[in-house]
Amino acid sequence: MIGCIAVAAHAQDRPNTYSEKTGEAFAKLKPLSEAKNYDGMLAVLDGAQAAAPADSYDVALILDMKAKCYGQTERFDKAIEAWEGALRVSEGKKYFDAKTTLDIKLFLAQFCYQVGVSSKVPAVQRQYMEKSSNYFKTWLAATPKPPADISMFYASILYNQAVVDPKHVDNTLLKQARSEVEKGINSSIHPKEGFYVLLLAILQQENDAVHSAETLELLVKQYPQKKDY
């Protein structure tokens, strides 16, 4: 899980520096983090944010740390709000370097996905799946060879975007999801099981009975102990 005080620990190594008052607030975080008192940490960070200029490096760091604390307690919507705020503050002033910005966007993609799949409201599902996809595309554009887990995650985003309204499946997004899955399968000697599970779901949505059967037979052959297959 994300470490809440990781950014503060390395902040002094960056060209931007936070104020002494913010530093005093950060010093209070370590014992709270060790006690897993995330609400206590958030209270300290709220106070530090209120005392700092709205467009300062201090606030960019504080919001990043708040997002990580919200992530620890699975308050994903709050984490998204904090990280998006951090990126807005950093934008233009380059408070965060390219890697940090990309890391935040990958977290945003993951958390938006979590909010989307957890919601039972189609409009909310659609909104957060689209945000997840957009953040991921930005990350992917700067990451030519993503790990298999991340590629599978992106394919899942596209698939869930496509079927968010079961009565009006988006075939364009479904094809994109299938392309990502097939790319993942073809890029490894031993593809992950999840790629085949996703491929099966896509083929069933496409009413492709022949290839669905072939994929299911492959799953049965490779995972004979799994009775569901």
- The dihedral through the CA atoms of 101, 125, 78, 113 has a sign that is negative
What are the tens digits of pLDDT across the range 150-177? 989 999 999 999 998 888 999 999 999 9
| Helix extents (H) in 119-170 | 122-141, 148-162
Q: Are 1 and 79 in contact (CB under 8 A)?
A: no
The predicted structure's pLDDT at residue 10: 45
Higher pLDDT, 13 or 174: 174
Contacts 24+ apart (CB under 8 A), 24-29: 29/4, 29/5, 29/65
Helix (H, G, I), strand (E, B) or coil at 187: coil
Mean pLDDT, residues 210-219: 93
Mean pLDDT, residues 100-116: 95
What are the tens digits of pLDDT across the range 39-87? 999 999 999 999 999 999 999 999 999 999 999 999 999 999 999 999 9
The CA-to-CA distance between both ends of the chain, in Å, stands at: 32
